[in-house]
Chains A and B, each alone.
Chain A
Amino acid sequence: MTIATVISAASGGEGFAPPGPADFHLPPLFGEVTKPMVLVVLAAILVFAFTYLAARPAAVVPGRLQFAGEYVYGFVRNGIARESIGSEHFMKFVPYLFSLFLFIAVNNYFGLIPFIQYPTMSHFGFPLGLALLTWVLYIGVGIGKHGFLGYLKHVTIPTGVKGPVLVIIMPLEFLSNILVRPATLSLRLFANMFAGHLLLMLFAFGGEYLLFESTSLINGVAGVLSFVMFGAVTVLELLIMFLQAYVFTLLTATYLGESLADEH
């Protein structure tokens, strides 16, 4: 669809139209349902099917699928949850962190799978929903542990700070811990997926335009280079997509760990 608009714009003599944010707004598939809505449901089904099939045999000597499932689970449990929350409380948050990690990773990798090629998280609503879920969870955990006023004190007053400087510190800490955290958490995931997909589109469309819409030899060479860059950026995206799922889960675990921390 988007390639068609670029080609039609090019053949109309208007030159190359670079891909922009408008290319992320695909027409609805049917009714009010759009592609990212379908993908988010597909991701939930995929994650459920993977974990169910991996966990069902529960063999002492794991098969391939069970090994993969246990590897991811162990990575999230030992590498993220236990490191950040502490060995005392971490077990009850592992299910949330594990599903969060898998769900975000699958949704991100939709950006590279052929015929899907659309990272769900490049629409701001989806990471915002996940970030708000984390926000409610870590504030709820903090209030449950310290009480409402106790948690407010825990959040706004860093340990060891006394005197009139608190007038400046308290609003700043409140702002950064309560208001900015969900915004940066969701924006980070959104912006990375959005920018990465835009970059891929730019090299793909640009290479296609340079190779097929132009007759000069230099443009042809530049088009080939553009496709080489497309491949390189794809490999970079493979890394970034994993890293963003990891960072989101790690930050969630860190916030939970901070809510649960005792006063020193």
Chain B
Amino acid sequence: MEGSLNMLGYGLATIGPAVAVGLIFAAYINGVARQPEAQSRLQPIAILGFALAEALAIIGIALAFVI
């Protein structure tokens, strides 16, 4: 197998974004549980935060293949 060390490093690098995504959805679920009518307000914000946190993992996968 080639480039397995790169992929190992990428796997470690995704821990950060993974924790971030988990925190975002935990906060979203908490918010909806406390105030169900706020769901339509919270959902775009949660998805947006998820997308921004995920961007780090995506930059990581690009670098894992490039370097």
A residues engaging B (CB < 8 A)? Answer: 18, 21, 79-80, 83-84, 184, 187-188, 191-192, 195, 243, 246-247, 250-251, 254
Contacts and interface: CB of A to CB of B under 8 A. Distances in A.
A153 B54 CA distance: 28
A183 B47 CA distance: 19
B47 A191 contact: no
A83 B55 contact: no
A84 B59 contact: no
Instruction: Tell me whether chain A's interface is mostly helix, strand or loop, or mixed.
Output: helix
A250 B62 contact: no
Given A18-B1, A184-B55, A191 B44 contact: no
A83 B44 contact: yes
A19 to B, nearest CB: 12
B1 A191 contact: no
Contact of B54 (A21, A84, A188, A254): A188
* The 4 residue pairs across chains A and B that have the minimum distance between CB atoms: A184-B55, A191-B58, A247-B51, A187-B58
B62 A187 contact: yes
Given A184-B59, A192-B58, 14 more contacts: A18-B1, A21-B65, A79-B44, A184-B55, A184-B58, A188-B55, A191-B61, A191-B62, A243-B47, A246-B47, A247-B50, A247-B51, A251-B51, A254-B48
